Chains A and B, each alone.
Chain A
Amino acid sequence: MDMLSEDQRDALQELMNVAMGQAADQLARLTDTFVVLSVPRIHSAANLSEAQLPAIMGAEQMVDITRQSFLGQVRGEAFVCFGSHGADQLAELMGYDEDNIQQREELMLDVTNILCGACINSLAEQFELPVSYGAPSVFSRQAPFKQAMNNKALQSHQTLIMEIRFEVKACQFTCDLLLCIAQETVEHVMAVIDRLLS
């Protein structure tokens, strides 16, 4: 079941594209490197484990997953999926000592926070809705994405999911970002879209 009409989907896609452009620009300024945020793909699904997921998340590959809440009239959680090296390639950029393994998790959480902050702030700006954040935390360690999702009792209501790939070419780093907007606040997004469409 799709909660978006084709027009709504197009409009949302447009908003997202603009937002990601801004977010990429901000991230580039912060890290002084060229970063790429993919054109977001939008899904709506009854729950995360049923959503059509990007290749890395569908595979059996072991990943670390972090999550962060965003709060306000648009509420939801963002997931960032890190490959086997976590965010190690970004250590230098983020001001970490590369050889300090103990800080790996903090580094991942840091990247999560900055990535979600940039993307969601830009989105919130497009939606003209204020947003705040909870602290990021580790969701699951070293498990395939599907298994990690299935192991946790997730709310199984309709969710609007946006999938974005983040890439820092200079560091050969990529990770996947899932923005999941909770059903009860999707209407606020819809209202903005409908206002734009009218």
Chain B
Amino acid sequence: MTSYQLPSSGLEAVLENINLGVVVVDAECRVLFWNRFMVIHGGRLPDEAVGRSLFELFPDLPERWLRQRVRGVLTLGNLAFTTWQQRPHLFPFSGTRPITSQLSSMYQNCTFFPLHDGQGEPLAACIAVTDATDTAARQQELERLNDLLEVEKEQQAKLIRRLEEAQAQLLQSEKMAAIGQLAAGVAHEINNPVGFVYSNLNSLRGYIDQLTALVDGLQAQVQACGNAQLIEACEALGRTSDYAFLREDTPVLLAESRDGLDRVKRIVKDLRDFSHVDNGEWQLADLHQGLDSTLNVIWNEVKFKAKVIKHYGELPPVQCIGAQINQVFLNLIVNAAQAIVDHGTITLRTGTLDDGVFVEVQDDGPGVAEELARRIFEPFFTTKPVGKGTGLGLSVSYSIIERHNGVLNVSSPPEGGACFRIVMPCRQPASS
């Protein structure tokens, strides 16, 4: 095996021509060696540079910092680095992509390393300068693209969130529409038979009254005629059919049936309201008047349970469907009365808010548990015993307020009580 050794002049040629800036400085930062790269980019021939201080050649160099750096390299016998990210332009060289890049100065990575004498003592420091303009240009382009992507990603995330919201809303409204259709169908189907049963029941009550009057009249006639045999036979007939009891119980049964039918009618009406079967007229209404008249209607249900306190503010006329809004008031107040355990207070509060108005119905009952508060506006959701509530009152109210472009929500502080709050605009937007 032959080994080829470069003559030292050859090594010098390598150093001279390598595509790196090579500067050797002594401990005082005076230039000892200056290669071709430095001539080309630094603009001075070796004769002009060697022997002079770096700070004389490049007055903008950070002197204190660089001296400390060279001192560190010589003291520790260690490498030191600068990178284009933190110190892009240590030497004031022009950019190396004058046509295709906006970067007007050369980005540089520099490595400092010690040169030792024969005894291993550090004599001088060498600074090797690498052109990193290409890397920097690419990196900066990547960063720019990355920023763009980040922005796009954020926008997409926003869009996805909105899509999800829209989907949830769609699902909800589909559910409501399906329930509404079902409710309308059920209401319609029940309404007819209930109608004729109701009217038949009314007729029946009339007939029964007449029949009772007939029997009573006949009995009186028999008593008056003085025929003991006939009277005896008549009384026997009355005993066999237990006439006295029939006469007493029939009206009670009829009244109970009528109550039952009233309840069916109320449920049907709720169902119809819920499914928007009845469309009222939009008008400007005084909500205080609505509240008061509603209170009058249900005063019998409320008066034994609660004292009603009114904190009415100044309210402008509000554009609404009065019958529907009254129904909401009715639901909320009855609800509040039912929430109160023994006897309590219902507070009605009204006022204006930005472009709208608010109405609050607050009770001092036990309040609404958080997990129920989420479901409380769902159709058919009720906490009342079977037969007491249809679970439609609040969902109907909710959809009515929604149709008025308002919001109905419930808050229940830990100390008890529940407050239902309606917020709605005074004027409906043009589209509705």
Which residues of A line the B interface, CB within 8 A? 26-27, 29-30, 94-96, 103, 105-106, 109-110, 113-114, 117-118, 121, 132-133, 135-137
Contacts and interface: CB of A to CB of B under 8 A. Distances in A.
Contacts of A26: 75-76
A136 B83 CA distance: 9
B68 interface: yes
B68 A94 contact: yes
Contacts of B67: 95
A94 B78 CA distance: 15
Interface string B188-200: 0000000000000
9 contacts: A95-B64, A95-B69, A96-B65, A106-B82, A110-B69, A113-B81, A114-B72, A117-B80, A118-B76
A103 B86 contact: yes
Given A110-B80, A137-B83, 13 more contacts: A26-B76, A27-B76, A30-B72, A30-B76, A95-B65, A95-B69, A96-B65, A103-B86, A113-B79, A113-B80, A117-B76, A117-B80, A136-B81
B86 A106 contact: yes
A80 B79 CA distance: 17
Given A94-B68, A95-B65, A96-B65, A30 B75 contact: yes
B41 interface: no
A144 B201 CA distance: 80
Nearest to B87: A106
Nearest to A105: B86
B181 interface: no
Contacts of B81: 109, 113, 135-136
B111 interface: yes
Of the candidates B62, B69, B79, the one having the most CB atoms from chain A within 10 angstroms of its own CB is B79
A114 B64 contact: no
B266 to A, nearest CB: 61
A135 B78 contact: no
B177 to A, nearest CB: 47
B78 A114 contact: yes
A77 to B, nearest CB: 15
B78 A113 contact: yes
A139 to B, nearest CB: 14
Contact of B76 (A114, A132, A137): A114
Nearest to A112: B81
A123 to B, nearest CB: 13
Contacts of A118: 76, 78
Contacts of B109: 135
Nearest to B80: A113
Contacts of B276: none
Interface in B122-152: none
Contacts of A94: 65, 68
B112 to A, nearest CB: 10
B131 to A, nearest CB: 15
B228 to A, nearest CB: 109
Contacts of A106: 82, 86-87
Interface in B150-166: none
A133 B86 CA distance: 18
Contact of A135 (B62, B71, B76, B111): B111
Interface in B72-95: 72, 75-83, 85-87
A65 B245 CA distance: 97
B87 to A, nearest CB: 6
A132 B79 CA distance: 8
Contacts of A29: 75
Contact of B78 (A95, A117, A137): A117
A188 to B, nearest CB: 21
Interface in B290-315: none
Contact of B79 (A30, A95, A109, A117): A117
Interface string B54-72: 0000000010111111011
B94 to A, nearest CB: 23
Contacts of B79: 113, 117, 132-133
Contact of A121 (B66, B77, B85, B86): B77
A121 B68 contact: no
B295 to A, nearest CB: 58
Interface in B371-427: none
Contacts of A113: 78-81
A29 B75 CA distance: 8
B76 to A, nearest CB: 5
Nearest to A122: B76
A121 B85 CA distance: 26
A137 B85 CA distance: 10
B146 to A, nearest CB: 16
A136 B69 CA distance: 15
A121 B80 CA distance: 13
Nearest to A107: B86
Nearest to B74: A30
Nearest to A114: B72
Contacts of B78: 113-114, 117-118, 121, 133
